[in-house]
Amino acid sequence: METNDEESTEQEPTPDEQAKSSSGMIRRKFLRAAAVGGVCVAILSVFVSAFDFFLGKARSLVGRLLDKFEESIAREAPRRIPGVKNGVQKGKLENEDEYRAFIASLGLKYISATEVIRPHRNIRNGIPNELPPQRTWKRLSEALLAADAIREELGVPLRMINSAYRSRHYNAECSGAVSNSYHTKNMALDLVYACSPKEAAKAAQKLREEGVFTGGIGVYSSFIHIDTRGRKADWGMSV
């Protein structure tokens, strides 16, 4: 007896179908890889944010410890210049070239490094002032940029920077200065503009409202004080 067995056969896919299948597989693999990559990026972002947070806290703690260390040094006998009561230090101050370069890097439109450095040469009651510690240089950036913006707003020259950073020993010799002055933290400027202090203070208040800086504004008989304490404070507006 003869049998008529037929062997089952499958139709081979056409080249177009093969291409579509391959393309779909590649797309699915890409989407899976993208999903995995997205999860990895999210996890990495969390770790980076946490690292930045703790690094910021560590820097803040180190800064406070160094400030306390400087306070302990300030309790020691200050360096005095023999034979000089009040005057100006001659020659270059320590790290002056580096500080000039830092100020130049801020891109100020009106204020020069020479103007900023000038009050650091002062001598009061035989005690010389000095340039700020390098770790505090960036602290003055916001105040300097604000002072430059006030000059732009007023449209009159900045005649003088009366005071910027003050060492704790020098600050103790300044009439009316408090021991925890923002000048000792390199976060304050006393500014003399070619206008009344009240007019300069109004310009400073306007710029503060616009977010140029966040801090205090004080009005004195011949100058204004600005600082970047991180919160609003005003005094002397009736002067």
Q: What is the pLDDT of residue 46?
A: 81
Non-local CB neighbours of 115 within 8 Å, separated by 6+ positions: 158, 160, 161
Q: pLDDT-derived band of residue 169, with 50, 70 and 90 as boundaries?
A: very high
Tens digits of residue pLDDT in 180-219: 999 999 999 999 999 999 999 999 999 999 999 999 999 9
- Asked if pLDDT for residue 65 goes beyond 60, the answer is yes
- Asked if pLDDT for residue 178 goes beyond 50, the answer is yes
Q: What is the pLDDT of residue 171?
A: 96
- Asked if pLDDT for residue 155 goes beyond 90, the answer is yes
Residue 198 phi, psi dihedral angles, 5° rounding: -65, -40
Angle at 60 between CA 57 and CA 62, to 5 degrees: 110
Give the SS3 label for residue 160.
strand
- Asked if pLDDT for residue 16 goes beyond 90, the answer is no
Please compute the mean of the pLDDT values over residues 145-156 and round it to a whole number.
Answer: 98
Q: Of 13 and 213, which is predicted with more confidence?
A: 213
Sheet holding 87-88, edge to edge: 87-88, 122-124, 127-128
Tens digits of residue pLDDT in 68-108: 666 555 557 777 777 778 899 999 999 999 999 999 999 99
Compute CA distances 127 → 15, 83, 86, 184, 208, whole Å: 91, 11, 8, 15, 34
Q: What is the pLDDT of residue 154?
A: 98
Q: What is the pLDDT of residue 8?
A: 46
Tens digits of residue pLDDT in 184-193: 999 999 999 9
Q: Look up the pTM and report it.
A: 0.69
Q: What is the mean pLDDT of the chain?
A: 86
Domains of the chain: 77-235 (3.30.1380.10)
Q: Of 63 and 228, which is predicted with more confidence?
A: 228
Residue 217 has what DSSP assignment?
Answer: E
Tens digits of residue pLDDT in 17-29: 666 666 777 777 7
Nearest to 152 by CA among 111, 211, 100: 111
Q: What is the pLDDT of residue 49?
A: 78
Measured CA to CA, the distance from residue 110 to residue 157 in angstroms comes to 8
